[in-house]
Amino acid sequence: MADQWMEAYRQLPPVSRTMATAVLVSSVGVYTSLLSGYWFVFHPQFLWRFPPQIWRFITAFLLTGPELSILFDTYFVYSYLSQLEAGNPRFSRKQDLLWYLTFVGGAIMFLSRIAPSHLLICPDSVFSTAITVPGKEEDHPCTAGWPIIRNPGWSVVQMMNYLSGMGYGTFLRALILAMCYTVTQDQRGMKASLMFITIPAPMTPYAMLAFNLLFPSGVSNMLLQLLGLLAAHLFDFLTRIWPEYGGGRNLIPTPAFYSTAVQSVEARWGVPSPAAGGGSRGPLPDSWRTRGTGHRLG
């Protein structure tokens, strides 16, 4: 039985299964206090330490929300990413998908740096004790529930965060919405069900944004996901809209060293390419999705 499960796992699209597994393991480890969330969150000052803690560029995209969000966020990561990897011709090569994740993730972090945000994001459930603000010896405990800090005694560093807009320490939910946007852009004319409401598939990311308002701290989550929407649209504009409708060229082609790296890994480990069309082609599972009226050809 275990061998069958492992074989089924190996048959999943490699990039999707790897990231979904990393998200699930990291989030479960942090929320059960087996791992320290301090080593996952991102702040620019971590990069000025020696050695620079550059792994935070990746780990900041591995933490879900607490409780049931661990399951739902992990599911959405695999669902949308597998649709891009196995069902979208724009990402038929692994290096193209990895470049997409790199560009969109970098754009999300850049936008969070320049866009003014009046909500400091620090999921206190990630930290079992007070967190230490980078560059300072004093502790600044997160005293509020997910994901807002309510600390009337702001330090200089916290005020700098407030003025610079760098209040977000994790970005997975923004990446999920970015992938949802990219997936649904190729599903015009299709329908999707969200919370028992049938909507056009391309409207799914906007519905997810509005859905945040039904929950506490929904505004801050919506602002974070909005960064993902902007980043995904920027990628779509530079790689598809401008070349097709503006008469230009792809302004951000996949770097050559991505292809070299992927080919080296495949040659070393013998990673097979996923079968084309193997992924689901809707923003939600097939059982939750309906198509429009069919038309007979010929």
CA 234 to the chain's CA centroid? 15
pLDDT at 141: 35
Strand partners, 191: 200
Q: How many CB atoms lie within 10 A of CB 201?
A: 27
Q: What backbone phi and psi angles, to 5 degrees, belong to 67? A: 55, -125
* pTM, rounded to two decimals: 0.77
pLDDT at 95: 95
Render 223-283 in DSSP notation, one character per residue: HHHHHHHHHHHHHHIIIIIHHHHSS---SSPPPHHHHHHHHHHHHHH-PPPPPTT-S--SS
- What are the residue ranges spanned by the domains of the chain? 2-269
CA 227 to the chain's CA centroid? 11
Both tokens of 106, joined, read 């970098």
One pLDDT digit (tens) per residue for the chain, 298 residues: 778 888 888 889 999 999 999 999 999 999 999 998 889 998 888 888 889 999 999 999 999 988 888 999 999 999 999 999 998 889 989 999 999 999 999 999 999 887 654 443 444 344 433 333 344 433 333 333 333 333 334 443 344 344 444 467 899 999 999 999 999 998 888 888 777 788 898 899 999 999 888 877 778 889 999 999 999 999 999 999 999 888 888 999 999 999 999 988 888 876 555 444 444 444 444 444 444 444 434 4
CA distances from 237 to 77, 180, 185, 205, 230 (A): 23, 16, 12, 17, 10
Residue 266: exposed, middle, or buried by beta-carbon count in 10 A (0-12, 13-18, 19+)?
middle
Residues 181-220: tens digit of each pLDDT: 999 998 888 888 777 788 898 899 999 999 888 877 778 8
Both tokens of 287, joined, read 């059982």
Please report which residue ranges of 40-147 form alpha helices under DSSP H.
56-59, 69-87, 94-114
